[in-house]
Amino acid sequence: MNQAQAKQNNIILLMVAGIGGCFLLYDLYGSIIGHLRQHDLLSYWVSPIFAHKISELIIGYAWILAGALYNF
């Protein structure tokens, strides 16, 4: 893979990460707001849904990092 193609692939990866990140953060925000209507923030932080949402973010960006490192 030449340098121009790697640069183009990285730009596409950044676009995918940005769009996907917006959806994941919107989903996290909606989950927090929905939980806060019934409970407090501390109960959300110790709930399984919070761990699930954070793991989605970590796994998603780990795949993006793996894709970016694959270009080099």
Between CA 57 and CA 6 the distance in angstroms is 24
Query: 30 or 69: which carries more pLDDT confidence?
Result: 30
Two structure tokens written together for 6? 């790697």
Contact 35, 51 (CB under 8 A): no
Span 2-50, pLDDT tens digits = 888 888 888 888 898 889 889 988 998 998 998 888 888 888 889 898 8
Contact 41, 8 (CB under 8 A): no
When pLDDT is cut at 50, 70 and 90, the band that residue 52 belongs to is: very high
Q: The whole model's pTM is what?
A: 0.70
Query: 7 or 72: which carries more pLDDT confidence?
Result: 7
Q: What DSSP designation does 39 have?
A: S
- Within 10 Å of residue 53's Cβ, how many Cβ atoms? 19
